[in-house]
Structure 1
Amino acid sequence: MIVRIMGEGQVELADDHFTELNKLDDELLAEMESGDEAGFRRTLAALLDAVRRLGAPLPDDALEPSELILPAADATLAEVRDMLSDDGLIPG
């Protein structure tokens, strides 16, 4: 799956990494619902770090369609809330 982190670029992630990413996504959703700003910041950073660590970066000139778009590390709670679906940032 091709994942874009806004403002950074794209990475390709194998499907078997999504179990780990979905756990972080669930934590992020819970922190957003409770208004836990510090937890939100910490978990968003952990989620983006995991995507960077587990994914293979695509070249900057690659024009692949992104199947998943994640917010930038400095996104606000309100900005991320606008990006959410019923499943969180990561479907599944």
Structure 2
Amino acid sequence: MIVRIMGEGQVRLDDTHVTELNKLDDELLAEMEHGDEAGFRRTLTALLEEVRRLGAPLPDDSLEPSELILPSPDASLEEVREMLSGDGLIPG
């Protein structure tokens, strides 16, 4: 799957990692629902770090369609809330 981190670029991520990323996504969703800004910031950072660690960066000139779009590391709680679907940032 191709994942875009807004403001950074794209990475190719094996579909097998979705389950472990969903755990962080669930934490992020719970922190957002409780208005836990510090927890939200910590978990968003952890989620993006995992995507970077597990994924392979695509060249900057690559124009692959992104299957998943994640917020930038400095996105606000409100900005991320607007991006959410019923399942969080990561479907599944």
Alpha-carbon distance in structure 1 between the residues aligned to 2:14 and 2:26: 19
Alpha-carbon distance in structure 1 between the residues aligned to 2:26 and 2:60: 30
Q: State the shift of 1:47 in Å.
A: 0.1
Q: How many residues align?
A: 92
Unpaired segments ≥5 residues, structure 1 = none
Alpha-carbon distance in structure 1 between the residues aligned to 2:43 and 2:78: 15
TM-score by length of 1: 0.99
Q: State the shift of 1:53 in Å.
A: 0.2
Partner of 2:3: 3
Describe the SS at the equivalent of 2:25.
Answer: helix
Identical-residue share of aligned pairs (%):
84
Q: Within 5 A, what are the aligned runs for 1:5-24?
A: 5-24=5-24
CA deviation vs aligned residue, 1:27-77 (integer Å, no higher than 9, x gap): 000000000000000000000000000000000000100000000000000
TM-score by length of 2: 0.99
Partner of 1:28: 28
Alpha-carbon distance in structure 1 between the residues aligned to 2:34 and 2:77: 11
Please report the RMSD computed on the Cα atoms of aligned residues, expressed in angstroms: 0.3
Partner of 1:55: 55
Alpha-carbon distance in structure 2 between the residues aligned to 1:54 and 1:83: 23
Matched letter for residue 66 of structure 1: S
